Amino acid sequence: MNAVSRSGPSIRFRGRSFMAMTLVADVPLQQWLADFDIWLERSPGFFTGRTVVLDMVGTAASKAEVERWIGELATRGVRLIGLEGIRPSMVDASMPPLLRGGRDATLIIPDEPVAVPEAPRKSAEPAEPVNMVIEQRVRSGQSIVCLEGDVTIVGSVGAGAEIIAGGSIHVYGALAGRAIAGATFGAKARIFCTKMEAELIAVDGIYRTAEDIDASLRGRPVRVWTEDDALRLAAL
């Protein structure tokens, strides 16, 4: 019998990078969850459709504790794509994978714990803001992130694009994507744009979607800020 050669579709692999939001766990668990629930009440749906990694450095001593963290977040609508900061023995095939190699990952934890002096935690707020200026259009699907300070866009922000700033966001053009300000500096942050067309705007975790933005502000220069735990918008 002659051998038959079959040609079919080849299996293709590509290396790609995807941006994920890292959620930093803290102890005690119940207090962290209580604070997280308050934040979610102010920003419901914020994690919908987002890729999230849980940083668990110093928060879990056993596999059971890791499972509890994953379960508590799952009940709150947070689906994890990966874990950081725990020993490999704490993870099994039913859990999100253990990730290493992210830009902020400077510690590799061995399977067996090693006694090391505990370093004091650094303040989450930088001493001096570091501002980012983008002198071009931000296109659909692009994400601009600067957690150390303000972001200024000299151009428009297309639908499907996302800007995340630790401080304020300034858009000298149409803002048609998502603008999330105050990720580090909180309520001190502001959003300014010369043409409001946003899909979502948020300051200090308080947000509005396009449906909740007053139609009279559409297409106009607008500033956004927080006051009395509410998001405020006004024409410029």
CATH number at residue 160: 2.160.20.70
Residues 224 and 137 in one domain: yes
In a domain, 174, yes or no: yes
pLDDT for the residue 130: 76
Q: What is the mean pLDDT of residues 89-95?
A: 86
Q: In this structure, are 62 and 153 located in the same domain?
A: no
Higher-confidence residue of 182 and 18: namely: 182
Q: What is the mean pLDDT of the chain?
A: 80
Q: Classify residue 149: in a domain, yes or no.
A: yes
- 103 domain residue, yes or no: no
User: In this structure, is residue 187 part of a structural domain?
Assistant: yes
Are residues 151 and 84 part of one domain? no
d(CA 140, CA 158): 5
Does some domain include residue 159? Answer: yes
pLDDT at position 108 is 31
Q: Which residue has the higher pLDDT, 109 or 226?
A: 226
Of the listed ranges 92-106, 139-153, 196-210, 217-231, the one predicted with least confidence: 92-106
Could you tell me if residue 127 is inside a domain? no
Q: What is the DSSP string of 177-222?
A: SEEEE-TTTGGG--EEEEEE--SEEEETTEEEEGGGS-GGGTTS-E
Percentage of residues of the chain with pLDDT beyond 90: 28
Q: Are residues 157 and 83 both part of a single domain?
A: no
Determine the structural domain holding residue 74 and report its residue range.
21-90
pLDDT (0 to 100) of residue 43: 67
The residue among 38 and 219 whose pLDDT is bigger is 219
Contact partners, residue 97, CB within 8 Å, separation at least 6: 82, 83, 91
| pLDDT reported for residue 120 | 47
- Of 62, 90, 118, the domain-final residue: 90
Question: Would 5 be classed as within a structural domain?
Answer: no
Q: What's the pLDDT score for residue 189?
A: 94
Q: Taking residues 143-164, what's their average pLDDT?
A: 90
**Alpha-carbon gap, residue 201 to 182, rounded angstroms:** 11
Q: Are residues 70 and 146 in the same domain?
A: no
**End-of-domain residue from the set 90, 114, 140:** 90
Task: Provide the domain count of the chain.
Answer: 2
d(CA 206, CA 230): 7
- Confidence (pLDDT) at 152: 95
Q: Is 107 a residue whose pLDDT tops 50?
A: no
Q: Looking at residue 205, what is its pLDDT?
A: 83
Is position 107 within any domain?
Answer: no
